[in-house]
Amino acid sequence: MSRTSMLKNRASLTHKLSYAVRNPARITPYVKRTARDTWLRLKHPNHVDYYRAVMASDTNRNPEAAVGSQTHERWLALGEMQFNYLAEHGLKPSHRMLDIGCGNLRAGWRFIAHLDAGNYYGIDISPDILISAKQTLTTYELQEKLPHLTITQNLKLDFLPEAHFDVVHAHSVFSHSPITVIDECFANVGRILAPGGFFDFTFDRTEGAEHQVLREDFYYRTETLVKLARKHGLEARFMEDWETRKHGQSKIRVNNPS
């Protein structure tokens, strides 16, 4: 990502006006989305309830677009990118994996195929997208791998066993999360990490002012998230090798030093 992109404040009026001038065809869709999101925020003041409603609306139109892929080819490519990265970082069939915000298994079906039966645990706040996930599971004939697909209300992770997961993964989750949700995850993820395990997550990175757009997209500075992880006794480092991938988000890895 370019330095210019890192300094953009997408919430500013100047950026919005400039973007509208350069992309007039996107004005009407943006206005419609703003109206829908405003209504959903009024109806669901809690962020998780609000974003669950957003996902229900988006999934009803197109489950693959709901997880950020506008074409099936892009859906496949992004899933492959996530899988290849973890495979290069030593993901083994024997590892037990928690996939936070598993969506409709864009990457999940590849993880499930790779892991031993029962070793994949996917959670999501959206029942609608989990129904689509089960359809993906059927499409790729992975029923015998017995993955766990579970709806969740928060990231307290209190229903999961201690020191159980070798890999915890959250792709395009914190990019849609206010800092309170990220803080809740950091407060609890260390408990479920197995010795030597790690937690990878992507986020929308800015080197300027932290901001959000429509309460759907949140932009954070790297040092903000590293410091927040440290507050909960976790070690965090920016993953430079992820930056070589053709993806708009950045990645941080968290370890539990204990």
CA-CA-CA-CA dihedral for 201, 202, 205, 210, to nearest 10: -60
Return the CATH number of the domain spanning residue range 3-255. 3.40.50.150
1 vs 61: CA distance, rounded Å: 30
- Which tens digits make up the pLDDT trace of 31-64? 787 888 788 888 888 888 888 888 888 888 888 8
CB 174 within 8 A of CB 105: no
Q: Can you read off the two tokens belonging to residue 147?
A: 């993955």
CB 92 within 8 A of CB 159: no
- Which tens digits make up the pLDDT trace of 63-87? 888 888 889 999 999 999 999 999 9
**Position 208 pLDDT exceeds 70:** yes
* Residue 159 CB partners (closer than 8 Å, separation 6+): 150, 152
Domain map (residue ranges) of the chain:
3-255
CA distances from 25 to 19, 31, 32, 36, 52 (A): 11, 11, 13, 18, 28
Helix (H) or strand (E) holding 250: strand 250-255
Q: Can you read off the two tokens belonging to residue 82?
A: 């996530």
The confidence score (pLDDT) of residue 65 equals 81
> How high does pLDDT run on average in the chain?
90
| Packing angle, helices 47-61 and 179-192, rounded to 10 | 90
DSSP string, 198-224: EEEEEEEE-SS--EEETTTEEEE-HHH
Q: Can you read off the two tokens belonging to residue 17?
A: 């006006």
